[in-house]
Structure 1
Protein backbone atom coordinates (compact mmCIF):
# COMPACT_ATOMS: atom_id res chain seq x y z
CA UNK A 1 0.00 0.00 0.00
CA UNK A 2 1.51 3.37 -1.00
CA UNK A 3 2.22 6.04 1.58
CA UNK A 4 -0.68 8.47 1.97
CA UNK A 5 1.68 11.36 1.21
CA UNK A 6 2.63 9.74 -2.10
CA UNK A 7 -1.04 9.40 -2.96
CA UNK A 8 -1.83 13.03 -2.11
CA UNK A 9 1.12 14.28 -4.17
CA UNK A 10 0.25 12.05 -7.12
CA UNK A 11 -3.23 13.56 -7.16
CA UNK A 12 -2.53 17.20 -6.27
CA UNK A 13 0.99 18.20 -7.43
CA UNK A 14 -0.57 19.06 -10.80
CA UNK A 15 -2.56 21.80 -9.08
CA UNK A 16 0.62 23.86 -8.53
CA UNK A 17 0.45 24.98 -12.17
CA UNK A 18 -2.82 26.77 -11.38
CA UNK A 19 -1.05 29.18 -9.00
CA UNK A 20 0.20 31.19 -11.99
CA UNK A 21 -3.28 32.08 -13.24
CA UNK A 22 -5.45 31.63 -10.13
CA UNK A 23 -4.10 34.04 -7.48
CA UNK A 24 -7.12 33.40 -5.23
CA UNK A 25 -6.35 29.69 -5.27
CA UNK A 26 -2.68 30.34 -4.51
CA UNK A 27 -3.61 32.59 -1.57
CA UNK A 28 -6.07 30.04 -0.22
CA UNK A 29 -3.50 27.23 -0.42
CA UNK A 30 -1.00 29.48 1.40
CA UNK A 31 -3.52 29.96 4.21
CA UNK A 32 -4.09 26.20 4.38
CA UNK A 33 -0.33 25.61 4.59
CA UNK A 34 -0.15 28.01 7.54
CA UNK A 35 -3.12 26.33 9.25
CA UNK A 36 -1.66 22.84 8.81
CA UNK A 37 1.70 23.98 10.18
CA UNK A 38 -0.06 25.53 13.16
CA UNK A 39 -2.14 22.40 13.85
CA UNK A 40 0.97 20.24 13.73
CA UNK A 41 3.05 22.60 15.89
CA UNK A 42 5.40 23.53 13.07
CA UNK A 43 4.76 27.25 12.98
CA UNK A 44 7.66 29.45 13.95
CA UNK A 45 8.71 33.04 14.29
CA UNK A 46 11.44 32.91 11.65
CA UNK A 47 11.23 33.67 7.98
CA UNK A 48 11.32 29.96 7.23
CA UNK A 49 9.02 27.93 9.49
CA UNK A 50 10.31 24.50 10.46
CA UNK A 51 9.11 21.39 8.69
CA UNK A 52 6.14 19.67 10.28
CA UNK A 53 6.88 16.17 11.55
CA UNK A 54 6.51 13.81 8.58
CA UNK A 55 4.55 11.20 10.52
CA UNK A 56 2.17 13.84 11.90
CA UNK A 57 1.61 15.19 8.39
CA UNK A 58 0.90 11.67 7.09
CA UNK A 59 -1.54 10.99 9.96
CA UNK A 60 -3.29 14.30 9.31
CA UNK A 61 -3.56 13.56 5.57
CA UNK A 62 -4.95 10.08 6.26
CA UNK A 63 -7.58 11.46 8.64
CA UNK A 64 -8.55 14.18 6.18
CA UNK A 65 -8.88 11.71 3.31
CA UNK A 66 -10.94 9.37 5.50
CA UNK A 67 -13.31 12.22 6.37
CA UNK A 68 -13.67 13.10 2.68
CA UNK A 69 -14.40 9.48 1.81
CA UNK A 70 -17.12 9.34 4.48
CA UNK A 71 -18.86 12.33 2.91
CA UNK A 72 -18.55 10.99 -0.64
CA UNK A 73 -16.47 14.00 -1.75
CA UNK A 74 -15.34 14.12 -5.36
CA UNK A 75 -12.74 16.53 -6.69
CA UNK A 76 -14.48 19.42 -8.45
CA UNK A 77 -13.42 21.03 -11.71
CA UNK A 78 -12.40 24.21 -9.87
CA UNK A 79 -11.33 24.23 -6.27
CA UNK A 80 -13.02 23.99 -2.91
CA UNK A 81 -11.87 23.72 0.70
CA UNK A 82 -10.75 20.11 0.26
CA UNK A 83 -8.77 20.80 -2.92
CA UNK A 84 -7.02 23.70 -1.20
CA UNK A 85 -6.24 21.55 1.84
CA UNK A 86 -4.94 18.63 -0.21
CA UNK A 87 -2.87 20.93 -2.42
CA UNK A 88 -1.41 22.49 0.74
CA UNK A 89 -0.51 19.04 2.05
CA UNK A 90 1.15 18.25 -1.26
CA UNK A 91 3.02 21.55 -1.19
CA UNK A 92 4.36 20.82 2.31
CA UNK A 93 5.48 17.34 1.26
CA UNK A 94 7.33 18.77 -1.74
CA UNK A 95 8.76 21.76 0.13
CA UNK A 96 10.28 19.58 2.82
CA UNK A 97 11.24 16.73 0.48
CA UNK A 98 9.40 14.07 2.44
CA UNK A 99 9.31 11.67 -0.51
CA UNK A 100 12.13 10.00 -2.37
CA UNK A 101 12.78 11.49 -5.83
CA UNK A 102 10.69 9.97 -8.60
CA UNK A 103 12.46 8.20 -11.46
Structure 2
Protein backbone atom coordinates (compact mmCIF):
# COMPACT_ATOMS: atom_id res chain seq x y z
CA UNK A 1 0.00 0.00 0.00
CA UNK A 2 1.17 3.54 -0.70
CA UNK A 3 1.94 5.25 2.60
CA UNK A 4 1.48 8.91 3.37
CA UNK A 5 3.24 10.89 6.09
CA UNK A 6 1.43 11.10 9.43
CA UNK A 7 -0.80 8.15 8.57
CA UNK A 8 -2.70 7.42 11.78
CA UNK A 9 -3.55 3.88 12.85
CA UNK A 10 -4.63 2.51 9.50
CA UNK A 11 -6.49 5.67 8.47
CA UNK A 12 -5.02 7.10 5.28
CA UNK A 13 -7.23 10.20 5.28
CA UNK A 14 -4.82 12.29 7.36
CA UNK A 15 -1.97 11.58 4.97
CA UNK A 16 -4.09 12.12 1.87
CA UNK A 17 -5.26 15.47 3.23
CA UNK A 18 -1.69 16.49 4.11
CA UNK A 19 -0.44 15.55 0.65
CA UNK A 20 -3.33 16.80 -1.50
CA UNK A 21 -4.63 19.94 0.25
CA UNK A 22 -2.04 22.04 -1.64
CA UNK A 23 -3.57 20.81 -4.90
CA UNK A 24 -6.95 22.27 -3.87
CA UNK A 25 -5.49 25.73 -4.54
CA UNK A 26 -5.21 24.78 -8.22
CA UNK A 27 -9.00 24.44 -8.35
CA UNK A 28 -9.27 28.24 -8.50
CA UNK A 29 -7.16 28.48 -11.64
CA UNK A 30 -7.69 25.26 -13.59
CA UNK A 31 -11.27 24.64 -14.75
CA UNK A 32 -10.38 21.24 -16.21
CA UNK A 33 -9.01 20.10 -12.88
CA UNK A 34 -12.15 21.43 -11.14
CA UNK A 35 -14.33 19.36 -13.46
CA UNK A 36 -12.22 16.23 -12.98
CA UNK A 37 -12.19 16.50 -9.18
CA UNK A 38 -15.93 17.21 -9.12
CA UNK A 39 -16.63 14.14 -11.27
CA UNK A 40 -14.42 11.95 -9.08
CA UNK A 41 -16.08 13.25 -5.90
CA UNK A 42 -19.52 12.54 -7.38
CA UNK A 43 -18.50 9.00 -8.33
CA UNK A 44 -17.09 8.33 -4.86
CA UNK A 45 -20.29 9.64 -3.24
CA UNK A 46 -22.36 7.45 -5.56
CA UNK A 47 -20.31 4.35 -4.67
CA UNK A 48 -20.55 5.02 -0.93
CA UNK A 49 -24.15 6.20 -0.67
CA UNK A 50 -26.48 3.25 -1.06
CA UNK A 51 -29.65 5.20 -1.73
CA UNK A 52 -32.86 3.96 -0.20
CA UNK A 53 -36.37 4.46 -1.51
CA UNK A 54 -36.38 8.03 -0.14
CA UNK A 55 -33.47 8.96 -2.46
CA UNK A 56 -32.12 11.35 0.13
CA UNK A 57 -28.36 11.52 0.45
CA UNK A 58 -27.01 10.69 3.86
CA UNK A 59 -23.90 12.14 5.46
CA UNK A 60 -20.57 10.76 4.32
CA UNK A 61 -19.02 8.65 7.07
CA UNK A 62 -15.32 8.70 7.86
CA UNK A 63 -15.12 4.90 8.14
CA UNK A 64 -16.62 4.43 4.67
CA UNK A 65 -14.30 6.93 3.02
CA UNK A 66 -11.35 5.41 4.90
CA UNK A 67 -12.22 1.93 3.61
CA UNK A 68 -12.60 3.27 0.09
CA UNK A 69 -9.27 5.14 0.29
CA UNK A 70 -7.46 2.05 1.62
CA UNK A 71 -8.77 -0.02 -1.29
CA UNK A 72 -7.83 2.67 -3.81
CA UNK A 73 -4.31 3.01 -2.37
CA UNK A 74 -3.90 -0.78 -2.45
CA UNK A 75 -4.87 -0.80 -6.13
CA UNK A 76 -2.35 1.97 -6.86
CA UNK A 77 0.36 0.00 -5.06
CA UNK A 78 -0.47 -3.11 -7.10
CA UNK A 79 0.18 -1.27 -10.35
CA UNK A 80 3.27 0.49 -9.02
CA UNK A 81 1.82 3.99 -9.36
CA UNK A 82 4.13 6.94 -8.75
CA UNK A 83 2.68 10.40 -8.29
CA UNK A 84 3.34 12.47 -11.40
CA UNK A 85 4.32 16.14 -11.43
CA UNK A 86 1.04 17.00 -13.16
CA UNK A 87 -2.31 15.29 -13.01
CA UNK A 88 -3.60 11.83 -13.79
CA UNK A 89 -6.60 9.71 -12.82
CA UNK A 90 -5.13 8.83 -9.42
CA UNK A 91 -4.18 12.42 -8.57
CA UNK A 92 -7.70 13.54 -9.50
CA UNK A 93 -9.23 10.77 -7.35
CA UNK A 94 -6.97 11.43 -4.35
CA UNK A 95 -7.66 15.17 -4.61
CA UNK A 96 -11.38 14.38 -4.64
CA UNK A 97 -10.97 12.27 -1.49
CA UNK A 98 -9.14 15.20 0.12
CA UNK A 99 -11.91 17.60 -0.94
CA UNK A 100 -14.59 15.27 0.47
CA UNK A 101 -12.74 15.06 3.79
CA UNK A 102 -12.63 18.87 3.99
CA UNK A 103 -16.22 19.36 2.86
CA UNK A 104 -17.57 16.86 5.37
CA UNK A 105 -15.31 17.72 8.29
CA UNK A 106 -14.17 14.11 8.56
CA UNK A 107 -10.94 14.91 10.40
CA UNK A 108 -12.49 17.37 12.82
CA UNK A 109 -12.40 16.34 16.46
Q: Match for residue 29 of structure 1?
A: 37
Q: Residues of 1 paired with 2:83 and 2:34: CA distance?
A: 17
Question: 1:98 aligned to 2:102?
Answer: no
1:42–1:52 Cα contact (<8 Å) kept: no
Once the two structures are superposed, what CA deviation does each residue of 1:70-89 show, in whole Å capped at 9, x if it has no partner?
A: 11111111111000100000
Count of aligned residue pairs for this structure pair: 99
TM-score by length of structure 1 reads: 0.86
Q: Residues of 2 paired with 1:85 and 1:33: CA distance?
A: 7
2:49–2:58 Cα contact (<8 Å) kept: no
Gaps of 5+ in 2: 1-6
Q: Which runs of 4+ in 1 moved over 3 A?
A: 42-46
Q: Match for residue 56 of structure 1?
A: 64
Q: Residues of 2 paired with 1:42 and 1:20: CA distance?
A: 31
Q: Residues of 1 paired with 2:50 and 2:90: CA distance?
A: 21
2:20–2:95 Cα contact (<8 Å) kept: yes
Q: Match for residue 23 of structure 2?
A: 15
How far does residue 45 in structure 1 lie from its aligned partner after superposition? Answer: 6.2
Q: Match for residue 80 of structure 1?
A: 88
Q: Residues of 2 paired with 1:22 and 1:56: CA distance?
A: 29
Cα RMSD, aligned residues only? 2.0
How far does residue 52 in structure 1 lie from its aligned partner after superposition? Answer: 1.7
